[in-house]
Amino acid sequence: MSLDEEYTAYVSGRLPWLRQIAYPLCQDWHRADDLVQTAITRLYVKWRQARAADNLDAYVRTILVRVFLAEQRGGWFSRVRLTPMPPSPPIEGTDRDTAMDMRRALAAVPPRQRATLVLRFHCDLSVEQTARTLGCSTGTVKSQTARGLANLRSILGAPDSRLSHTEER
């Protein structure tokens, strides 16, 4: 199999997964597709190096998150809005009102905290894995997680224990 065929096979199989990571970061399916497109373009350029990675999915997830954070720093999204945000697709098996509230709250959290929360809770990464993905220390991940959860609590008007992932009972 050629390098191009390997790349195409990998990307074809992982597109839905990449979109599922990109959407909670940016809260817009069109923008999520743009993030994924940029990430897979960067992956193509580095495919020889990437295919030798110990964990290719982690490598690609890192590219995707860094593309999102770089876009936030560059301010492109705040200057350009091509269309109004489309409605979010229905969520199966959950309370839709709660899910919509959570999406709105997550969108209001600063980008770096949002990326940390998505990696920790949506992607179920450890503190160490999240730190590697974001290129920061584990202490930074812990503080960004704490601040992000505090922001979500504040936005949702939730008591401290409601959004804690380690609730005491």
Assign residue 133 the CATH number of its domain.
Answer: 1.10.10.10
End residue of a domain, out of 63, 89, 115: 89
Do 76 and 120 belong to one domain? Answer: no
73's CB contacts (< 8 A; 6+ apart) are none
Q: Do residues 77 and 71 touch, judged by C-beta distance below 8 A?
A: yes
Q: Is 4 exposed, middle or buried (CB count within 10 Å of its CB: 0-12, 13-18, 19+)?
A: exposed
Give how many domains the chain has, as a whole number: 2
Query: In angstroms, rounded to a whole number, what is the distance separating the alpha carbons of residues 32 and 70?
Result: 14
Residue whose entry in the numeric block shows the structure tokens 């503080």: 143
Do 85 and 102 belong to one domain? Answer: no
106's CB contacts (< 8 A; 6+ apart) are 24, 27, 114, 117, 118, 152
Residues 140-156 have pLDDT tens digits of 999 999 999 999 999 88
Containing structural domain, residue 109: 94-169
Residues 65-114 have pLDDT tens digits of 999 999 888 665 544 555 555 444 544 556 777 778 888 888 899 999 99
